[in-house]
């Protein structure tokens, strides 16, 4: 292995915690479902960071609890059983848990049992915004009082960061937390580790895989061969006391140079319609692509760990739609253009690339054998930052598939 | 009130009061007796005990999984059992239940690495099938091969590193272990370890309070284990201040490891101290003199490890700065004990 | 009190041998096939407790041998090859084994080899009763003289136990060993460990899963919410010198109270047609449900270990049919009513529940993490009894799938 | 286990290296593809001994390189990308490798990176003969200068060995290295370890599995029940300084006796048309069956390790065809007769037998539990020879499926 690789063993040791995070970072906010996937009184089971989670909506409010009965471990969501609005019962022997506290509040066939009130299942804080349901996935003993606001685990916001991260080439990116924000998107399971997926999101060196994408040619976009860092401060890490921890890449400024030619290979990019965008990523692994796929729209991505070899890939486009008509227009454009050409089309190539990397990393050897280069400053910076600011390393799932 | 006595397997007996109608296990838990239990409902059989004197019966209406023959032989489940008189029970575990009982293991030497002018890092791997659980801060006794003499060292590694364990060892002119390590020791040689020992360990219940660590020389080993344990704990990390010192810069070690910890732990601050010839960024003086006004809050918990004089000075200084003496934990760490 | 003290994993559990029996108990009688699954001169291969077993019927008599050639380990049953009535040959290199003794009696292409007569494969004692074939699955060195009678591994019999276990609410249960007993049933593979399956069989706290079953409502049965133990002697263990080792539950006596209400959840069971039954279980894991699904019929179940994560689930209904007409009537009722509404229908819910528990126990964590309650007196008593009286713990399969 | 088995633990220790070679022997020549599977400018990915290999043909010449990008480990063959005739590029971030040397010669979007020229991927020597492409699968540091000629890893040749291994019953076997040799055949994946497969190839004791094959009866062949060694020198090992290392079996000479009867089982072979042939095997596991399936034709087989539980099974018939007409006739006969009746038909029984043995050996217990006999002198001799002369034991695959 070449000495010229940028991830020497010393650099590697700086992100050892990241290498240990095969099952994800715990004690963070993650998207669980779109709002319309959990109608009133429905029960759904998901898994994040190896933890099975059951969600139920009652009178509009959403509750999330560990989806593993304290009695003999079956998933409550496997056969949803609710006798009232305050509880969820296990379908097997009727252990019944308070939705709000998780406490074992009765047992169907054993109303006087001594265990009642003394045990229970972990509950997970829930937030619903702009059509998405977020869950704070935590360790069993993580105290309510320490739960940070959702905004701490969401991308940087604008215009409040416009001064810190100016962007003359496009309008201030909307946020899912903005008033009238509408989040449209999809999620699907990716068959690979979440870190491999995440690193692809803000990797400036992989434009090659998108060279033949329909949207690029339909809209006559000019994509460079790649984008190279030209200065030490090409990436700013954000480690403020409050708010999200992450990194911003100064793309399409003088700190990064687009590569338009490779002489040796006789490659040259020509054209006029530059497609400007900027990527940033914050813990626990949330990508923001500003000005993408068009002005006034922002793309978010999550790579939510399910197990050590699967993740839920979320692609979400956010736009602020103050009026009903704006909403309809946006939905129409999403359905006709964005969904097929961007979320599929363009991003399918990313999903393919991520899954193609999985074998290399799955047996653990890839982390040692990879030979990173200058452009990999992005994943390396991310790995170090994530090692420092994560709120805990998830343990391998217990008693789950 | 009935008086109930538990006779442990290690010969220790402890007594507590049980009100009439009260379940014996509930009273034992309230009295902080070492007891093992799980379901508290008469099912799992973890709280099994053998009645050796007196009268104790399963509460009327409560079920238990004991077979009739077991009841006849005196077996009781403390969680569903009431005392009808003063009575005593034998239990199958020791009064250290829940603690790690010291035992002997064998380990193979992986490496002996010189890390400073007078210190080495010893890395060993436990023999197949042997195991050692310990709390960060506790120590083991290592037998010097051939001489049979014992020396005490704390692992600088953590429990999740087992079967690997790492120790920091000061090299003394003509010390028994020092001679062995510098002249004889080689890969795959077998060492005998006994442990864990000691009540100097990280207090789980205080893990969210601000921490101050004061380490002199190889007294850094248990402190590193504590810092790494806190790092591995999820959730909010406490502010941590480490003051670590040696006589001279060339006697210092593990500085890269500390840099790495600072990279991983935004809440960790370090002060590196030397008595003589400080380099750039080092504190001139001992690790106690590096402590200053504002370092201590009323709930600060402190761990001190090093020579006795350093511990005494640090204790005085911490109290002076506002620390609660009950929150100061220390281990004297002289090179040859 | 420190957290560690609540963790029971540090003490050797009272039923550790049971926890070790992932591959089953060996040196016991297990059902292998229904008689009509092995016609004259047929050869069939099965697997029990990790041991591959080949059965052949010759002139009505059944032989069972280890289904793994001593030469290079292929299964004899994979391509049945028999040149006469006394032997079975391996289809690969012609190693030929005596059906009765298992001894290597010749090699097709090597009739003088010195190995002949000096080695062989283990044979398994066979019994055929009431349309079922039982095999005594043993360790290679378990002596013929120690093989217990089949009746030692079958449920308690009546009326000989009627005094010991009186049952005023129903007629004496028939036994598969009774004259003119007819066993009708089915078997299928359950995807979970055999212990998880077995414990469900006599678990009095899981009636909830059967609440919506067709047979319950078609026949207007009243099933309580659950059945609670009310006294110390709610279960009698049978540990006599001779005969089966197991436990009898005193259901529908004053030692167990049916629970008909749960105030907290607003649940109340009403009705008249009580459905009385009683469950017992004996080693190596045989369930008997007396008076089920109707008078004069008894239901047996086996959960025969195949591997550590699969078992063969046997459901058998036994009735004494002295005349040919009785037999026909019984067969007709079995085909029209029992098979669809009981063996499927009702019991499908049990199979579902057992498989739903598998993840929790499969990685070994469930045995430590489960939180049992009062009603779990049944499985706990069984675990202790089984730990005490089993004839051996099966080792993981060697050289098998 | 009987004391009479021929593979005592002492014998076993003599072939320990062979028992360690689950992933194959490295630093040997293996068939990769048929020539017509790699047309001009095509790129194909295969795997041998756990090493992913990509092949590209440019201007007729074939290049083989490690199919695992040094950057982040994806397979180059997953989305072939070549910008010129001298290189192959990784489709992900454009790392571009010199076809001839494997050196990283540029990066599409990073033409000045300092890593360029300092690292690269291993190349594998290639030889193409008689319609087959061979690759020398080597360890990364195996020097070019040590690469042996292909002929060292191919079967013994005739007539140059006719004096050493006379064969009055048939004409000298052709070789794939002969002028005008034509190799026709097929390859497919076998689901088992390569050693199990290989040993079946020259096993003289398994004729039983072919007893009912169509070709045997269509052509009235007489196959004995088996062939027994009658003398100590029934097998000659070839361990010359130069040339292939392997063993020749003196079949159909006085050193082996065909077995035509088994009294005990009442079996007797009768007939006139003896079917004479001879098997030999050389490292790294290449079978030659002379005079098979007819005169002037020879059958080669390879069992190329893919992983520890899969191999690529190659069946190739070689005939010398000096004229175009000879070629056509041979192809016609191959298509109409050999392919269906020999490569399928006859050899399908072998593939079946090999896969049937896999369970026994897959968990490692088979190597200890097998009980070999006199006829197993063939595999035992092979195991010892292979232990002695292999050029390296392949390590488990790294970062591959
Ligand atoms: S498993 Fe949930 S109540 Fe028993
Ligand atoms: S494997 Fe059965 S005879 Fe060879
Ligand atoms: S993985 Fe091949 S260039 Fe990046
Ligand atoms: Fe992309
Ligand atoms: Fe049931
Ligand atoms: Fe064959
Ligand atoms: Mg997995
Ligand atoms: Mg016999
Ligand atoms: Mg298994
Ligand atoms: Mg070359
Ligand atoms: Mg494999």
For residue C63, report the distance from its CA to the centre of ligand 9, in Å.
28
**Percent of chain C beyond pLDDT 90?**
87
Give the per-residue pLDDT at D2. 66
With CB atoms and an 8 Å threshold, state whether A392 touches B233.
Answer: yes
Atom of ligand 2 nearest to the CA of C69: 2
- Mutating to test ligand 1, I would choose from A54, A71, A81, A88 the residue with most ligand atoms within 8 A of its C-beta, which is A71
Give the per-residue pLDDT at C7. 33
Give the per-residue pLDDT at C8. 40
| Residue-wise pLDDT tens digits, C239-282 | 999 999 999 999 999 999 999 999 999 999 887 678 899 999 99
Mean pLDDT of chain B: 92
**Closest partner CB to A114 (pick from B41, B233, B264):** B41
The backbone torsions φ and ψ at residue D91, rounded to the nearest 5 degrees and listed phi first, read -70, -10
Span B279-306, mean pLDDT?
Answer: 96
Give the per-residue pLDDT at C4. 32
Show which subunits contact A, needing at least 3 CB pairs below 8 angstroms: B, C, D
Span B102-124, mean pLDDT?
Answer: 95
Question: How far is Cα D78 from Cα D68, in angstroms, rounded to an integer?
Answer: 10
Query: Tokens standing for A159?
Result: 């215009």
With CB atoms and an 8 Å threshold, state whether B235 touches A391.
Answer: yes
Contacts of A263 (CB under 8 A, 6+ apart): D111
Going by beta carbons, is chain C in contact with chain B, meaning 3 or more pairs sit under 8 Å apart?
A: yes
Give the per-residue pLDDT at C6. 34
Give the per-residue pLDDT at D163. 96
What residues of chain D lie within 8 A of the CB of C73, using their CB?
Answer: 357, 359-361, 366, 369-370
Give the per-residue pLDDT at B71. 85
Q: What ligand has the least distance to the C-alpha of C347?
A: 5
Question: How far is Cα B34 from Cα B91, in angstroms, rounded to an integer?
Answer: 10
Span D6-13, mean pLDDT?
Answer: 87
The backbone torsions φ and ψ at residue C375, rounded to the nearest 5 degrees and listed phi first, read -65, -15
Is D94 part of the contact surface with chain A (CB cutoff 8 Å)?
A: yes
With CB atoms and an 8 Å threshold, state whether B34 touches C234.
Answer: no
Give the per-residue pLDDT at B98. 62
The three-state DSSP-derived secondary structure of chain D is CCCCCCCCHHHHHHCHHHHCCCCCECCEEEEEEEHHHCCCCCEEEEEECCEEEEEEEECCEEEEEECCCCCCCCCHHHCCECCCCCEEECCCCCEEEECCCCEEEEECCCCCCCCCCCCECCECCEEEECCEEEEEECCCCCCHHHCCCHHHHCCCCCCCCCCCCCCCCCCCCCCCCCCCEEEEEEEEEECCCHHHHHHHHCCCCCHHHHCCCHHHHHCCCECCCEEEECCCCCEEEECCCCCCCEEEECCCCCCEEEECEECCCCEECCCCCECCCEEEEECCCEEEEECCCCCCCEEEEEEEECCCCCEEEEEEEEEECCCHHHHHHHHHHHHHHHHHHHHHHHHHHHHHHHHHHHHHHHCCCHHHHCCCCHHHHHHHHHHHHHHHHCCCECCCCCCCC
The backbone torsions φ and ψ at residue B151, rounded to the nearest 5 degrees and listed phi first, read -130, 145
**ipTM entry:** 0.93
Q: How confident is the model at residue C231 (pLDDT cuts 50, 70, 90)?
A: confident
| Residue-wise pLDDT tens digits, B143-193 | 999 888 999 999 999 999 999 999 999 999 889 999 999 889 999 899 999
Is A206 part of the contact surface with chain D (CB cutoff 8 Å)?
A: yes
- Best residue of D3, D7, D208, D349 to probe chain C, by most C CBs closer than 10 Å: D208
- Mutating to test ligand 1, I would choose from A88, A93, A96, A120 the residue with most ligand atoms within 8 A of its C-beta, which is A93
With CB atoms and an 8 Å threshold, state whether C366 touches A75.
Answer: no
Give the per-residue pLDDT at A1. 62
Closest residue in A to D82 (Cα) is A265
The verdict on the CB of residue C367 being under 6 Å from ligand 2 is no
- Best residue of C109, C121, C141 to probe chain D, by most D CBs closer than 10 Å: C109
Q: How confident is the model at residue B63 (pLDDT cuts 50, 70, 90)?
A: low
**Beta partners for residue B170, in sequence order:** B119
Handedness of CA A202, A203, A207, A210 (dihedral sign): negative
- Mutating to test ligand 1, I would choose from A45, A52, A54, A69 the residue with most ligand atoms within 8 A of its C-beta, which is A69
> Minimum mean pLDDT among A61-75, C101-115, C373-387: which range?
C373-387
* Number of H-type helices and E-type strands within chain A: 8, 20
Q: Chain D, 234-273: which have a CB under 8 Å from a chain A CB?
A: none
For residue C80, report the distance from its CA to the centre of ligand 11, in Å.
30
Give the per-residue pLDDT at D1. 61
Q: How confident is the model at residue B283 (pLDDT cuts 50, 70, 90)?
A: very high
Q: What ligand has the least distance to the C-alpha of D348?
A: 6
Is C395 part of the contact surface with chain D (CB cutoff 8 Å)?
A: no
What residues of chain D lie within 8 A of the CB of C106, using their CB?
Answer: 262, 264-265
Atom of ligand 2 nearest to the CA of D357: 1
Task: Identify which of C171, C162, C182 has the alpha carbon closest to the alpha carbon of residue C322.
Answer: C182
Question: How far is Cα D247 from Cα A222, in angstroms, rounded to an integer?
Answer: 64
| Residue-wise pLDDT tens digits, A144-189 | 999 999 999 999 999 999 999 999 999 999 999 999 999 999 999 9
Question: How far is Cα D353 from Cα C74, in angstroms, rounded to an integer?
Answer: 8
- H or E stretch covering A95: strand A95-98
Ranges in chain A, pLDDT < 70: 1-3, 272
Give the per-residue pLDDT at A182. 98
Closest residue in C to A119 (Cα) is C371
Give the per-residue pLDDT at A270. 83
What residues of chain B lie within 8 A of the CB of A12, using their CB?
Answer: none
The verdict on the CB of residue D92 being under 6 Å from ligand 3 is yes
C-alpha distance from C94 to closest chain D C-alpha (Å): 7
Checking if the pLDDT of C1 tops 50, the result is no
With CB atoms and an 8 Å threshold, state whether C373 touches A113.
Answer: yes
| Residue-wise pLDDT tens digits, D202-255 | 999 999 999 999 999 989 898 899 999 999 999 999 999 999 999 999 999 999
C-alpha distance from D75 to closest chain A C-alpha (Å): 7
Is C377 part of the contact surface with chain A (CB cutoff 8 Å)?
A: no
The verdict on the CB of residue C333 being under 6 Å from ligand 2 is no
Question: How far is Cα D63 from Cα D74, in angstroms, rounded to an integer?
Answer: 19
Burial, C231: exposed, middle or buried (Cβ in 10 Å; 0-12, 13-18, 19+)? middle
Judge whether A331 and A184 are in contact, CB under 8 Å. yes
Q: How confident is the model at residue B337 (pLDDT cuts 50, 70, 90)?
A: very low
Give the per-residue pLDDT at C14. 76
Q: How confident is the model at residue D330 (pLDDT cuts 50, 70, 90)?
A: very high
CA-based end-to-end distance of chain C: 47
With CB atoms and an 8 Å threshold, state whether C108 touches D262.
Answer: yes
The verdict on the CB of residue D90 being under 6 Å from ligand 3 is yes
Q: Is the pTM of this model over 0.80?
A: yes
């Amino acid at each position: 292995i070449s000495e010229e690789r940028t991830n020497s063993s010393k650099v590697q040791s700086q992100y050892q915690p990241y290498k240990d995070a095969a099952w994800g970072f715990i004690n963070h906010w993650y998207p669980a479902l779109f709002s319309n996937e959990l109608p009133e009184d429905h029960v759904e089971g998901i898994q994040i960071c190896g933890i099975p989670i059951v969600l139920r909506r009652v009178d509009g409010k959403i509750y999330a609890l560990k989806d593993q009965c304290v009695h003999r471990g079956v998933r409550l969501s496997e056969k949803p059983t609710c006798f009232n609005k305050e509880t969820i019962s296990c379908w097997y022997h009727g252990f019944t848990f308070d939705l709000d506290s998780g406490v074992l509040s009765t047992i169907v066939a054993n109303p006087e049992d001594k265990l009642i009130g003394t045990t229970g299942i972990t509950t997970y804080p829930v937030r619903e915004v702009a059509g998405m349901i977020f869950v704070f996935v935590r360790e069993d003993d993580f105290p309510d009082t320490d739960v940070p606001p959702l905004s701490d685990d969401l991308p940087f916001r604008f215009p409040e960061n416009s001064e810190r991260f100016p962007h003359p080439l496009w309008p201030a990116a909307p946020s899912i937390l903005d008033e009238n924000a509408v989040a449209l998107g999809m999620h699907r399971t990716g068959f690979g580790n979440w870190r491999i997926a995440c690193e692809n999101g803000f990797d400036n060196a992989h434009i090659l895989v998108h060279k033949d994408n329909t949207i690029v040619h339909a809209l006559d976009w000019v994509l460079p061969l790649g984008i190279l860092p030209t200065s030490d401060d090409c990436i700013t890490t954000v480690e403020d006391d409050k708010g999200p921890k992450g990194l911003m890449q100064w793309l399409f400024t003088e700190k990064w140079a687009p590569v338009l030619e490779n002489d040796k290979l006789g490659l040259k990019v020509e054209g006029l319609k530059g497609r400007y965008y900027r990527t940033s990523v914050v813990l626990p692994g949330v990508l923001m692509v500003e000005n993408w796929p068009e002005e006034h729209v922002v793309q978010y991505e999550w790579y939510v760990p399910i197990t050590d070899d699967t993740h839920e890939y979320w692609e979400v486009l956010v736009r602020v739609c103050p009026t009903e008509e704006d909403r309809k227009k946006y939905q129409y454009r999403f359905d006709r253009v964005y969904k097929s050409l961007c979320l599929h089309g363009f991003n399918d190539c990313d999903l393919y690339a991520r899954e193609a990397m999985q074998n290399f990393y799955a047996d653990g050897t890839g982390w040692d054998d990879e030979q990173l280069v200058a452009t990999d400053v992005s994943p390396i910076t991310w790995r170090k930052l994530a090692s420092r600011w994560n709120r805990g390393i998830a343990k391998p799932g217990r008693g789950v598939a | 009130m009935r008086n109930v006595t538990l006779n442990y397997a290690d010969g220790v007996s402890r007594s507590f009061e049980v009100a009439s109608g009260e379940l014996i296990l509930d009273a034992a838990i309230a009295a902080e007796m070492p007891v093992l239990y799980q379901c508290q409902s008469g099912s799992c059989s973890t709280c099994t005990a053998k009645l050796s004197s007196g009268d104790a019966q399963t509460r009327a209406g409560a079920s238990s999984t004991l077979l009739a023959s077991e009841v006849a032989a005196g077996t009781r489940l403390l969680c569903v059992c009431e005392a009808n008189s003063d009575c005593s029970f034998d239990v199958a575990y020791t009064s250290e239940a829940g603690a790690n009982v010291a035992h002997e293991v064998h380990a193979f030497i992986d490496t002996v690495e010189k890390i400073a002018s007078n210190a080495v890092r010893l890395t060993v791997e436990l023999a197949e099938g042997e195991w050692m659980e310990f709390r960060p801060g506790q120590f083991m006794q290592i037998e010097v091969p051939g001489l049979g003499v014992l020396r005490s060292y704390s692992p600088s590694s953590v429990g999740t590193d087992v079967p690997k364990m790492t120790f920091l060892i000061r090299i003394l002119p003509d010390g028994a272990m020092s001679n062995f390590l510098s002249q004889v020791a080689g890969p795959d040689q077998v060492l005998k370890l006994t442990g864990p020992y000691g009540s100097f360990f990280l207090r789980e219940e205080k893990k969210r309070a601000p921490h101050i660590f004061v380490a002199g020389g190889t007294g850094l080993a248990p402190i590193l284990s504590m810092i790494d344990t806190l790092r591995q704990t999820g959730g909010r990390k406490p502010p941590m201040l480490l003051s670590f010192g040696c006589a001279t810069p060339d006697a210092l070690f593990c500085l890269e490891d500390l840099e790495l910890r600072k990279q991983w732990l935004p809440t960790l601050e370090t002060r590196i101290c030397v008595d003589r010839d400080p380099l750039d960024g080092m504190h001139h003086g001992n690790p106690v003199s590096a402590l200053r006004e504002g370092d201590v809050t009323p709930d600060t918990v402190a761990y001190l490890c090093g020579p006795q004089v350093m511990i005494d000075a640090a204790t005085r200084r911490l109290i002076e700065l506002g620390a609660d003496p009950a929150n100061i934990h220390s281990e004297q760490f002289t090179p040859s004990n």
